[in-house]
Amino acid sequence: MIYLDHAAATPVSDKVFEAMKPYFLHDFFNPSAAYLPAKKVAADYETAKGVIAHAIGAKASDLVITAGATEANNLAFSAIVTEDIFCSGPRPAGPSPRAAGANSRAAALRNAPSQNISSVLYLETEHDSVRKVAEQYGGEAVKVLPSGVIDLDDLKAKITDETQLISVSLANNELGTIQPLAEISGIIREIKIDRLRRGIKTQLLLHSDASQALNLLDINVARLGVDLLTLNSAKVYGPKGVGALYVSHDARLKPVIYGGGQENGLRSGTENVPSVIGFAKAVELAKEHLNGNRKKYASWRKILLAELQGYELINKKRSLDNFVVLCYNGMDAERLVFLLEEKGVYVSTGAACAASKGVKSHVLKAIGLSDAEIAGSLRLTLGETNDEAQIHEAARIINKVVTQEKERLDNER
Amino acid sequence: MIYLDHAAATPVSDKVFEAMKPYFLHDFFNPSAAYLPAKKVAADYETAKGVIAHAIGAKASDLVITAGATEANNLAFSAIVTEDIFCSGPRPAGPSPRAAGANSRAAALRNAPSQNISSVLYLETEHDSVRKVAEQYGGEAVKVLPSGVIDLDDLKAKITDETQLISVSLANNELGTIQPLAEISGIIREIKIDRLRRGIKTQLLLHSDASQALNLLDINVARLGVDLLTLNSAKVYGPKGVGALYVSHDARLKPVIYGGGQENGLRSGTENVPSVIGFAKAVELAKEHLNGNRKKYASWRKILLAELQGYELINKKRSLDNFVVLCYNGMDAERLVFLLEEKGVYVSTGAACAASKGVKSHVLKAIGLSDAEIAGSLRLTLGETNDEAQIHEAARIINKVVTQEKERLDNER
């Protein structure tokens, strides 16, 4: 098997698995329990959060652990404040939605999507877990250039005095395109200064989904200038079903899930200790091997681009080193995926959740590809399950399959 | 170590751990991916859901997998429909909130807590993950009798034509008290018939949190007559961070988390395959050993009640077989927990999440205990980590500690 779909899922590495094991079998105590072994588990949990936080230049207390990146993205949008939009009538009682962790559904509800004023901007190439939430808030999409990089002029043009939150992923999940977050946060800083001058108190927050980037980029929340950052364990050789949201002091969230009050009341539910321990170990390993892996993937990417034939490279610019997105014009990539699978090579046509629904990639559409080009596009994402020999072998097999398929199509004509 | 706090947390059993292992390390594929190994993982995931569903007399398609019981309880309440409560003005565009899985935050928001009419009833002894959500919906608490069993007269008195959802846990998490759900659903059926006669179309749903009961009671959703049932892996020797909500065809939920559209669009996010496989294995084992375990725990409970001294039994009636709730009047249970811990016996004073906050148990208060009695109450919950020798030993140690503590208190006087 040659697995080239690491952007869709990664295995749990052996070291991560070993790190989790005792917390499943022996140190299983409820971190909220009063006795010492439980207190030790609670301490280990906090330490693990600290490791994850440290990797992005933050503190454990800045993180809210979630059941994955999708939940973290959803939670990030709870920072948006909008007044009663259904009417200008009196408000129900309840804490102010600006209050940190306002623990009231009524307050959360005042946080309603504005039907007329768009308080949310998001990049049109975002993952569904951002787009679908943004749409609920009447969010407006910001265009990307043909390179897949954000169109900063379009962003500037679309920011209004009502804009509260801008969501731009650090690296796109279909193209691997890295967005200039520092530049974006610079623009946001200017606007905030201008708003202050004009006495406009509306918040302006920058959220970024860093799911794909955690093990491929050196991430620092201060340097990026983000207020909210989504992290994902399942994409960095940690367990599925766990993620985290970094929350700056400027962002005030409201709970999405109510209950025992864990995670500072923002995300109730018994702490998923083994998964967080595993997530932390995965992050630790990712940071340890960051530079080595980047070099390795970059060289493998070069090999593929050199040895593959008859393709057009789609993600030319500013891409994560492990993303190779190719277009075989006039071919049906879905069929190529199937033919490659028969040869033991596993690739995808785009985001797994989108691919499964057979919908055309909104990302490839956004960068201006024609339907035919989209239909012929393959995403190869390299990772820890690969070695250099596999990369050469993959190139050979893909060339062979593509050639055979081309002959078949020519004969049909 | 003698662990007597199985209601707070259970270890993952070896068989469950072994069942999960391959899905962490080898069968790690994204269930939404197009190639065969991923499709196999997707099939295994569905099979696991089927095993969990079968244990309560349901089908895989009736379950929504969540990140735990707390999230499942929160999701259950999304079935409540209330009209714009902030005003009588025009509604924003958006699908009807009655529409199955209405995928619109606007619709979700119309589902606002009524400030004047209570559309939700919940048992006053419910876990915070039900109480805190119910409170957001302006829910009204239904009283329990001194036995801890629901006061059916109070329930009947509080059901109005506006009541849409009634939440009563199958077994209480502090007392183990089993509630007469079949009787409650009988009452609900009568009311529904009467509403139909009078042309009232308001829904009336029964939700039950069965977190504590799955491995101790034979659960069948049809026999219980519930529309929504919460299941919890972490309490039945499965992994933490996974649970499920059973949803009958009468209940229409709205997503709490938006994204890739997994779990029929009700709970987006890449499926947590290893945890669901483990959850299913735990459920399978629980069902296999249900009767044997009940007998075993019942006999151990008898041993404790016979050998322990100077206590008053609190959960006399209709309790799960593994719950022993004792009151040592005039003593400080917090201190007993600490002294027992020094002797290697781990018990609790109540729900872990409440205990950690040092708040008085609302459950013990609800059954009419005085502050002094609450302060002197210990919860012992038996489980798979115990054997009969441990039970005798625990009784001996608890008696010793209580006697010493009594002497200390007498000397102080």
| pLDDT tens-digit map of B262-316 | 999 999 999 999 999 999 999 999 999 999 999 999 999 999 999 999 999 999 9
B270 to A112: CB separation less than 8 angstroms, yes or no: no
The CA distance from B355 to the nearest CA of chain A, in Å, is 7
Chain B residue closest to A234 (CA)?
Answer: B270
Q: A355: which chain B residues are within 8 Å (Cβ-Cβ)? A: 32-34
The average pLDDT across A99-128 equals 61
Which of chain A's residues have a Cβ under 8 Å away from the Cβ of B71? 67, 257, 269
Per-residue pLDDT reduced to its tens digit, A225-274? 999 999 999 999 999 999 999 999 999 999 989 999 999 999 999 999 99
Report whether pLDDT(A97) > 60. Answer: no
Say what percent of chain B tops pLDDT 90: 86
Which CATH class, in words, describes the domain spanning B2-8+289-412?
Answer: alpha beta
State whether B87 and A92 contact (CB < 8 Å): no
| pLDDT score, position B296 | 98
Chosen for mutation from B17, B36, B169, B270 (greatest number of chain A CBs closer than 10 Å) is B270
Contact A241 B240 (CB under 8 A): no
Whether the CB-CB separation of B364 and B350 falls below 8 Å is answered with yes
Q: What is the pTM of this model?
A: 0.92
Exposure b/e, B254-275, CB count within 10 A at least 16 = b:
bbbbbbbbbbebbbbbbbbbbb
**For the segment A186-233, what is each residue's pLDDT rounded down to a tens digit?**
999 999 999 999 999 999 999 999 999 999 999 999 999 999 999 999
- Estimate to the nearest angstrom the gap between the alpha carbon of A372 and the chain centroid: 27
pLDDT surpassing 80 at residue A354: no
Per-residue pLDDT of A130-157, as tens digits, reads 999 999 999 999 999 999 999 999 999 9
Identify the CA nearest to A11 among candidates B259, B278, B41, B49.
B41
Question: Which one of B12, B275, B357 has the shortest CB-CB distance to A28?
Answer: B12
Chain B: residue whose CA lies nearest to A34: B356
Number of H-type helices and E-type strands within chain B = 15, 12
- Nearest beta carbon to residue B234 from set A88, A262, A270: A270
A-chain residues within 8 Å CB-CB of B265?
none
Q: Which residue of B has its CA nearest to A115?
A: B92
Q: To the nearest 10°, report the CA torsion of A249, A251, A256, A258.
A: 40
How confident is the model over B108-137, as a mean pLDDT?
78
What is the pLDDT confidence band of residue B117, given thresholds at 50, 70 and 90?
A: low
Q: What is the mean pLDDT of residues A308-317?
A: 96
List Cβ neighbours of A251 (8 Å cut-off, separation of 6 or more).
A79, A203, A205, A227, A228
Residue A334: what pLDDT?
92
Query: In a 3-state reduction of DSSP, which class is residue A56?
Result: coil
Residue B412's pLDDT band, with cuts at 50, 70 and 90, is confident
- Asked whether residue A355 carries a pLDDT value surpassing 70, the answer given is no
Residue-wise DSSP of B205-258 = EEEEE-TTTTTTS---HHHHT-SEEEEESTTTTS-SS-EEEEE-TT-----SB-
Instruction: Output the six-digit token pair for B78.
Output: 């999304």
Which residues of A are known catalytic residues? 353
Contacts of B153 (CB under 8 A, 6+ apart): none
C-beta separation of A212 from A129 below 8 A: no
Question: In a 3-state reduction of DSSP, which class is residue B140?
Answer: strand
Residues in B touching A17 (Cβ below 8 Å) = 21, 24-25
| pLDDT at A102 (0 to 100) | 33
Q: How far apart are CA B202 and CA B120, in angstroms?
A: 12
Instruction: Give dist(CA A44, CA A28) in Å, integer.
Output: 12
Residue A380's nearest CA partner among A72, A2, A1 is A2
Neighbours of A264 (CB within 10 A): 14
Q: Is A315 helix (H, G, I), strand (E, B) or coil?
A: coil
Determine, for residues B34 and A259 on separate chains, whether the beta-carbon distance falls below 8 Å: no
CB contact under 8 A, A258 and B132: yes
Nearest to B87 among A9, A11, A89 (CB): A89
Residue A26: list chain B partners with CB under 8 A: 11
* Residue A103: band (very low, low, confident or very high) from pLDDT cuts 50, 70, 90: very low
Best interface-test mutation with B: which of A353, A362, A380 has the largest number of B CBs within 10 A? A353
Mean pLDDT of B162-171: 98
The residue ranges of every structural domain in chain A are 2-8+289-412, 14-284
Structure tokens at B207: 């939700």
Q: Quote the CA–CA distance of A99 and B199 in Å, as a whole number.
A: 43
What residues contact residue A18 under an 8 Å CB cut-off, 6+ apart? none
User: Average pLDDT in the B377-385 region?
Assistant: 97
Q: What percent of chain A has pLDDT over 90?
A: 86
Kindly tell me if the per-residue pLDDT of B159 is higher than 80: yes
Residues A77 and A120 sit within 8 Å (Cβ to Cβ): yes
pLDDT at B413: 79
Same fold, A2-8+289-412 and A14-284: no
> What is the residue-wise DSSP string for A347-387?
-BSS-HHHHHHTPPPHHHHHTT--HHHHHTEEEEE--TT--
Give the sheet arrangement for strand A323-327, strand by strand. A312-313, A323-327, A377-381
Residue A106 has pLDDT above 90, yes or no: no
Nearest residue on chain B to A347, alpha-carbon basis: B35
Q: Percent of chain B having pLDDT more than 70?
A: 89
Segment B327-376, tens digit of pLDDT:
999 999 999 999 999 999 999 997 655 556 667 899 999 999 999 999 99
- Out of B1, B33, B268, whose CB is closest to A355? B33
pLDDT band per the 50, 70, 90 thresholds, residue A28: very high
Tokens of B173: 């998490």
DSSP A227: S
Residue A239 to residue B274, Cβ atoms within 8 A = yes
Q: Which residues of B touch A108 (CB under 8 A)?
A: 136
**Cβ distance of B89 and A91 shorter than 8 Å:** no
Distance from CA of A386 to the nearest CA of B (A): 14
8 Å CB contact of A34 and B355: yes
Q: Mean pLDDT over all residues of chain B?
A: 91
Give the lowest-confidence range in A102-111, A161-170, A210-219: A102-111
ipTM of this complex prediction, to 2 decimal places? 0.91
Total CB pairs under 8 A between chain A and B = 304
The Cα A184–Cα A170 span in angstroms is: 11
Q: What's the mean per-residue pLDDT of chain A?
A: 90
Considering only CB atoms, which chain A residues are within 8 Å of B335?
A: none
Contacts of A137 in chain B (CB under 8 A): 105
Angstroms from B58 CA to nearest CA on chain A: 24
Tokens found for residue A177: 């395109």
Q: Confidence class of residue A352 from pLDDT cuts 50, 70 and 90?
A: low
- How far apart, in whole angstroms, are the C-alpha atoms of residue A290 and residue A281? 14
Question: A406 vs chain B: nearest CA distance in angstroms?
Answer: 21
Q: Does residue A383 surpass a pLDDT of 80?
A: yes
Rounded to 5 degrees, what angle do the CA atoms A5, A7, A12 make? 85
Q: What is the mean pLDDT of residues A71-99?
A: 60
The CA-atom distances, in angstroms, between A136 and each of A69, A78, B89, B394 are: 18, 11, 20, 55
Computed from CA positions of residues A327, A333, A337, A343, in that sequence, does the dihedral angle turn out positive or negative? negative
Question: pLDDT by residue (tens digit) across A42-71?
Answer: 999 999 999 999 999 999 999 999 999 999
Interchain proximity A87–B84, CB inside 8 Å: yes
Active site residue B327: no
**Model pLDDT for residues B185-221, shown as the tens digit of each residue:** 999 999 999 999 999 999 999 999 999 999 999 999 9
Our CA-based measurement puts residue A286 at a distance from the nearest CA of chain B, in whole angstroms, of 17
Residue of B nearest to A112 (CA): B109
pLDDT of residue B105: 36
Query: Which residues face B66 on adjacent strands?
Result: B243
Note the pLDDT of residue B214.
94
Joined together, the tokens standing for residue A53 give 């936080």
Residue A84 confidence (pLDDT) above 70: no
Among B305, B353, B392, B399, the one annotated catalytic: B353
Beta carbons within 8 Å of B199's beta carbon, 6+ residues apart: none
pLDDT on residue B289? 96
| B338/A270 Cβ within 8 A | no
Question: Does domain A14-284 correspond to CATH entry 1.10.3720.10?
Answer: no
Q: Is the pLDDT of residue B14 over 60?
A: yes
Q: Where are the alpha helices (DSSP H) in B99-149?
A: 105-110, 128-136
Q: In chain B, whose CA is at the least distance from the CA of A21? A: B17
Q: Is the pLDDT of residue A284 over 60?
A: yes
Cross-chain Cβ contact B115/A93 below 8 Å: yes
Chain B residues with CB-CB distance to A128 below 8 A: 258-261, 268
Residue B314 to residue B311: CA distance in whole angstroms: 9
pLDDT at A359: 72
**Distances, alpha carbon A382 to alpha carbons A10, A32, A313, B6, B42, in Å:** 10, 40, 16, 43, 22
Q: What's chain A's length in residues?
A: 413
Query: Tokens 């199958």 label which residue?
Result: B170
The pLDDT score that the predictor gives to residue A345 is 98
pLDDT of residue B109: 40
Encode A75-112: b = buried (16+ Cβ within 10 Å), e = exposed.
bbbbbbbbebbbeeeebbebeebeeebbbbbbbbbbbb
Percent of chain A with pLDDT over 70: 89
Alpha-carbon torsion A229, A74, A233, B232, what sign?
A: positive
Closest Cα in chain B to A273? B240
Tokens of A95: 């804490």
Nearest to B258 among A132, A258, A273 (CB): A132
Collapsed DSSP state (helix, strand, coil) of residue B22: helix
Q: What is the mean pLDDT of residues B153-175?
A: 97
